[in-house]
A and B are shown apart, each in its own frame.
Chain A
Amino acid sequence: MAEPHPHPDRLWRNPEPKRVYDVVIVGGGGHGLATAYYLARNHGITNVAVLERGWLAGGNMARNTTVIRSNYLWDESAAIYEHSLKLWESLSQELDYDILFSQRGVLNLVHSVGDRRESMRRVNANRLNGIDAEWLTPEEVKAFCPIVNLSPEVRYPIIGGTLQRRGGIAKHDYVAWAFARKADEMGVDLIQNCEVTGFDLEGDRVRGVHTNRGLIAANKVALCAAGHSTVLADMIGLDLPIQSYPLQALVSELLEPVLDCVVMSNAVHVYVSQAPKGELVMGAGMDAYNSYAQRGSPHVIEYQLAAACELFPIFSRAHVLRTWAGIVDVSPDASPILGLTPIENLFINCGWGTGGFKATPGAGWVYAHTIAHGEPHPLNVPFGLERFTTGALIDEHGAAAVAH
């Protein structure tokens, strides 16, 4: 797999929707496509449609910064994200498509005593869960990432770091295309330009979806719409504890290789990696206000570039080529909502917020199981909607690494 995958003309059919499916997945992003793939692969359910309002993987899947890691604090999160990371490790072979998965290491910088305590605790928690995690001294940080600025003269000096060597990045488009191609090969209908406008309900049971291309009946309906989850849920009277915010990202022009790992800083707040093509890919915190506008405030960009230039003085002459925003679905505990709903045959996968890309295969795997069996996979039992009644939250604001 040395050469990037050639781009054939057609990776999937472009079928007309049938009138009836066993499963309709609403949302043709990474999670929707992965769910369709694993429904077919693991459960033999191929009479499946993925309905996408725009084009496949054109929402957050096209807008994220592609960081993959599993170093979350709590056992429940560690288990589901590590399951996903293990799937990433063989995904190119599994899908017969080089998704440019690169385990170049994810380095989290530490700038304060509070940071250090939280980070060391998380390293220990990760190790107890069998997840690779290391504490690095400032010198070890410098050895791992030589262009980082260790100067004590900066506003927030680097006093250490944590490293997950198995973390890294992948090429987001290839991931989506690879899942789409394989799902299509197994008989899944990927239907683009098909917007869900309502639900066909009988009592408390969903029987299908109304779309701009007519009524499509389904035994089961699986929502997978990220930032637009509540727009869909509102149509069916399902309340979700989700707020939608813009999360911005940006790229520089193409540069020679200068950064061979992923670096994140919660405190100074920027995360950066260099894509295979050469552009620096950067992100930071979300914008503060609810929005569906897929654009954000300039000051967020300004602050993250200031942080980047302080951490990496060598970046100071790079140029911003493009900025954009995706609409992220943020839950109260920065953990996903994945499971059943009070409406029969309606399933929900949302709330991944700022970190859904890394979960693409894992979420697809457990969501497919949940849909196929009508009950959650053991890994997503803790992530049900009922935790907002029981209070059994899975607070991952620290590990989420994006300011909420």
Chain B
Amino acid sequence: MLIPCPWCGDREDIEFKYGGSAQVAYPADPASVDDETWGRFVFFRPNPKGKMAERWVHTAGCRRWFSLVRDTVTHEVTPS
């Protein structure tokens, strides 16, 4: 699978580490959230069958984080 690094171009996926979903927002006021909300932030992530917005880091290259949209069925990548 080729991952398009925005700075280095297409590289093989072994050069990258996966960061999972790009749709995880840190609670705006972490001191005030209850256990359930906190648990959701820590443990629950989107797991779509189809297009998924996700984070990758080019660990063996420029070491920069970026987001992309990848289809979890075809592995087709579209930069975002």
Are A and B physically bound partners?
yes
Q: Which residues of A contact B (CB under 8 A)?
A: 228, 230-231, 234, 239-244, 288-293, 297, 299, 332, 388-391
Given A288-B17, A288-B18, A389-B35, A293-B43 contact (CB < 8 Å): no
- In the complex, the answer to whether B49 meets A289 with C-beta atoms within 8 Å is no
List chain B residues, Cβ under 8 A from A289: 13, 18, 54, 70
B contact residues vs A (CB 8 Å cutoff): 1, 13-14, 17-18, 20, 35-36, 39-40, 42-45, 47-49, 52, 54, 70, 72-75
* A390, B35: Cβ atoms closer than 8 Å: yes
CB distance from B13 to the nearest CB of A (A): 6
State the CA gap A290–B36 with chains docked (Å).
Answer: 25
Chain B residues whose CB sits within 8 angstroms of the CB of A241 once the complex forms: 43-45
Interface contacts beyond A290-B72, A291-B75, A297-B1: sample of 8 additional A-B pairs, CB < 8 Å, sorted by A: A234-B48, A243-B20, A243-B45, A244-B49, A290-B20, A292-B72, A332-B42, A332-B43
How far, in Å, is B3 (CB) from chain A's closest CB? 9
21 residue pairs from A and B, CB less than 8 Å apart: A234-B48, A239-B44, A240-B44, A240-B47, A241-B43, A241-B44, A243-B20, A289-B70, A290-B54, A290-B72, A292-B72, A292-B73, A293-B73, A293-B75, A332-B43, A388-B40, A388-B42, A388-B43, A388-B44, A389-B36, A390-B35
Contact in complex: B47, A242 (CB < 8 Å): yes
- Cross-chain contact A228 with B49 (CB below 8 angstroms): yes
* B72 contacts across to A, CB distance below 8 A: 244, 290-293
Nearest Cβ on chain B to A227's Cβ, whole angstroms: 9
* Closest CB in chain A relative to B48 CB, distance in Å: 8
Do A239 and B40 have beta carbons less than 8 Å apart? yes
A366 to chain B minimum Cβ distance, whole angstroms, is: 22
- Say whether chain A's binding surface is mostly helix, strand, loop, or mixed: loop
Within the complex, which residue of B1, B17, B39 is in contact with A389, where a contact is CB–CB below 8 Å? B39
> Which partner residue on chain A sits nearest B13 by CB separation?
A297
Please indicate the chain A residues that have their CB under 8 angstroms from the CB of B73 in the complex. Answer: 291-293
Cα of A242 to Cα of B49 in the assembled complex, Å: 13
Q: Which residues of A contact B44 (CB under 8 A)?
A: 239-241, 388
Contacts of B70 in A (CB 8 A): 289
Q: Which residues of A contact B39 (CB under 8 A)?
A: 388-389, 391
Query: Is the CB–CB distance between A293 and B17 below 8 Å?
Result: no
Chain A nearest CB: distance from B19 CB in Å? 10
Q: Is the CB of B49 within 8 A of A292?
A: yes
How far, in Å, is B61 (CB) from chain A's closest CB?
16
The residue on A at minimum CB distance from B50 is A292
| B14 near A297: Cβ-Cβ < 8 Å | yes
Residue of B17, B40, B42, B47 touching A290 (CB-CB under 8 A): B47
A243–B75 Cα distance when bound, in Å, is 16
Report the separation of the CA atoms of residues A241 and B54 in the bound assembly, to the nearest whole angstrom.
17
Using CB atoms, name the residue of chain A closest to B47: A230
Q: Which residues of B contact A293 (CB under 8 A)?
A: 72-75
The listed residue with most A CB atoms (<10 A of its CB), out of B17, B43, B54, is B43
A290 and B13 alpha carbons, distance in the complex (Å)? 13
Closest to B74 in A: A293
Task: Tell me the minimal C-beta distance from A225 to chain B in angstroms.
Answer: 12
Chain B residues with CB below 8 A from A240, complex form: 44, 47
Chain B residues within 8 Å of A243, by CB: 20, 45, 47
Instruction: Give A391 to B39 CA distance when docked, in angstroms.
Output: 8
CA distance A243 to B45 in the complex (A): 7
Q: Report A-chain residues with C-beta under 8 Å of the C-beta of B14.
A: 297, 299
Q: Which residues of B are found within 8 Å of A288, using beta-carbon distances?
A: 13, 17-18
Question: Which residues of A lie under 8 Å from residue B45 when comparing CB positions?
Answer: 241, 243
Chain A residues closer than 8 Å to B42, beta-carbon distance: 332, 388
Q: How far is the CB of A321 from chain B (nearest CB, A)?
A: 24
Chain B residue nearest to A393 (CB atoms) is B43
B18 / chain A contacts, CB cutoff of 8 Å: 288-289
Q: Are the CB atoms of B1 and A290 closer together than 8 Å?
A: no
**In the complex, chain B residues whose CB is within 8 Å of the CB of A228:** 49
Q: A234 vs B50: C-alpha distance in the bound complex, in angstroms?
A: 13
Q: How far does the Cβ of A83 sit from chain B's closest Cβ, in whole Å?
A: 26
Which residue of chain B has its CB nearest to the CB of A229? B47
Q: Which single residue of chain B is at the shortest CB-CB distance from A332?
A: B43
Report the minimal beta-carbon distance from B74 to chain A, rounded to whole angstroms. Answer: 7
